[in-house]
Amino acid sequence: MWTKCAVAIPVLAMGLFLAGMKVPSAGSQTPAPTAVPAYPDGTDSALGQRIATILADPAVARAHWGIAVTTLEGVPLYGHDEAQFFRPASNAKLFTTAAAMQLLGPQSTVPTEVIADSVTPQGLVNGDLRLRSDGDANLSGVIFPYAPATGESAAPADPLRAIDDLAAQVAAHGVRHVTGNIVADDTQWTWEPYPQSWAIDDMLWDYGAPVSSLSVNDSTIALTVHSGARAGDPATVTQSPDVGFYSIRVQAVTTALKSQTHIHIDRAIGSRTVLVTGEIALDGKDVEQLAVSDPPLFAAQALRASLVAQGIAVDGEAHATERASTLADSFTKQAHEAEPGLPGPSDLPHSVSEVCNDSCGVTLAQRTSPPLAQDLLYTLKESQNLHAEQLLRRLGRVYGREASSAQGARVVRQFLVNAGLDGNDFVFYDGSGLSDHDLVTPRATAQLLTYASRQTWSSAWKASLPIGGVDGTLASRFKDSPLKGHVFAKTGTLGESRGLAGYVDCASGKQVIFAVYVDNHAPGGAADRTAMDRIVEAIAASY
């Protein structure tokens, strides 16, 4: 059985990154406030006046806005409610990924293995075949090094490419027959598929995929609804990859050519039956990305199907095993408990070993994840929630007491306090920002961006941020702006909250840090996003 390896990392006295700072005592709920420089409000500046005009627009004036602008060295340049809380949405990924780069290392990797108790010379596995991983987020068809989409059509990725590779290795090992089951072993992490305060209506879709150490194809199935041959015919539905995970009930019908398509997808909690209703226009097609409700079982099903395709007889079925948390304390208590054993910048390892194999059987196949820095390019450019959540649990496993969201949040919190952020300026319940309980101040985000710009991993981390008008989640923004190619920032959208934070090249040739948040904007429109982009343009023009 795999066990957690002891990681030999030198630690600064009291676990501090910065001399003179105090770490909260164990169990402390509220750290001592950190001195934060005052932000000019810009009342008498051209920038302040431009931003005031933007925010006075009736379309956005009733929303709650927060802005922080600093130099790369962290000197405040402008602030507007920079000390108030906002929902960061996917800006939370900035905090999770920075902690991962610092504490796990840009070259950190994790293995995935297929293991049997024994194999006879005739290729017989008398018993179960086990699939284990410690959180490789890329058991999918995504090619690494990752290249963000540029608008050109790309060949569709094979969603089971990684699983097929493992199955091919098992076959190459000489295995011809498995008498037992194919078991996906998820016991490396605690079974906690959904972080606290995720909305129930997010759990159906790919962006709300449950978290597991075994994630095949980002724990997502593409459901494609096709029209029938003529109006009035029932629609047909296909799923990819189809390993028998979901049963599909189709009650959607075909309507006239060029009519409106209205497709509705539903699945009861705990059910593996998906109901498809509505109408689809003749010759139409509708594609929906669904979350897999049980990622380990899905992984086991995928591996079993691939082994059979390799000509290996499998007598048993696909099964999954999970492990419950042994920690009784609440999320809040765990997340606020001090973790004094974090390494400082000078102690950063080239790569942290997160698991080791104690030779509990015969390893028949193995894959190694892409280095963390490569995964971040995909995670931040595409704002991939599941990858951020898996990083949070990896941090909890290495530096906390288990691979859970609470222990990961505990590690991230201590990292941020050690990095100089005021512990009263942020609250995180997950790693991706899908929780609407997450809170952060604009000044805390600016401080994180300042800290990150000083680290050895800064260039790789900044290169992972979407570029305005070019790629990722900013590909369609700033396209017709002088700032096209000059904004490097993380987006965030959650209900009526939005965020944009990162770095921008200014008229002077210098680069500054900005964090812009809005809460409680009017739903159903994009006026707040337009105002946000105008604010960034005003910042760039002013420095």
- Within the chain, all domains assigned CATH 3.50.80.20 are found at 118-199+297-321
Tokens describing residue 384 = 């991939």
Gap between the Cα atoms of 205 and 362, Å rounded: 37
328 phi and psi angles, rounded to 5 deg: -90, -20
Instruction: Output the pLDDT for position 352.
Output: 62
- Do 416 and 425 form a contact (C-beta atoms < 8 A)? no
Token pair 């129930």 in the structure block, residue = 200
Instruction: Output the pLDDT for position 358.
Output: 52
Gap between the Cα atoms of 392 and 542, Å rounded: 37
Rg of the chain, C-alpha, whole Å: 25
Q: What is the 3-state secondary structure (H, E, C) of 66-79?
A: EEEEEECCCCEEEE
b/e code 238-277 from CB counts within 10 Å (16+ = b): ebbbebebbebeeebbbbeeeeebebebebeeeeeebbbe
- C-alpha closest to that of 445 among 491, 519, 501, 518: 501
Containing 497, the helix (H) or strand (E) segment is strand 497-505
375 phi and psi angles, rounded to 5 deg: -65, -35
**CB-based contacts of 73: which residues, under 8 Å, 6+ apart?**
450
Instruction: Output the pLDDT for position 25.
Output: 35
Whole-number Cα distances in Å, 527 to 49, 62, 532? 19, 12, 9
- C-alpha closest to that of 411 among 428, 399, 429, 419: 399
By CB atoms closer than 10 A (0-12, 13-18, 19+), residue 10 is exposed
- Within the chain, all domains assigned CATH 3.40.710.10 are found at 43-106+333-359+368-542
Whole-number Cα distances in Å, 537 to 54, 433, 466, 484? 11, 25, 16, 10
Gap between the Cα atoms of 526 and 530, Å rounded: 6
464 phi and psi angles, rounded to 5 deg: -85, -10
Across the 543 residues of the chain, what is the mean pLDDT of every consecutive 10-residue run? 31 30 37 72 91 97 98 97 98 98 95 96 97 95 83 69 98 98 95 92 96 97 96 96 96 95 94 97 95 97 98 98 92 91 63 57 95 97 98 96 96 96 97 97 98 96 98 96 98 97 97 98 93 98 96
Report pLDDT digits (tens) over 489-506. Answer: 999 999 999 999 999 999
List the Cα angle 90/91/93 in 5-degree steps: 75
Alpha helix positions (H), 384-497 = 385-399, 405-418, 442-453, 458-463
Task: Label residue 151 left, alpha or beta by phi (over 0 means left) and psi (-120 to 50 means alpha).
Answer: left
Report pLDDT digits (tens) over 291-345. Answer: 999 999 999 999 999 999 999 999 999 999 999 998 989 999 999 999 887 876 5
Please say whether the structural domain 43-106+333-359+368-542 has been given the CATH code 3.40.30.10: no
- C-alpha closest to that of 488 among 477, 432, 54: 477
Q: CA 516, 517, 518, 519: dihedral to nearest 10 degrees?
A: -170
Topology of the domain comprising 118-199+297-321: D-tyrosyl-trna(Tyr) Deacylase; Chain: A; (3.50.80)
- Work out whether strand 136-139 and strand 439-440 pair parallel, antiparallel, or are unpaired: unpaired
* Helices and strands (DSSP H and E) totals, the chain: 11, 24
Whole-number Cα distances in Å, 147 to 140, 143, 151, 374, 377? 15, 8, 12, 10, 8
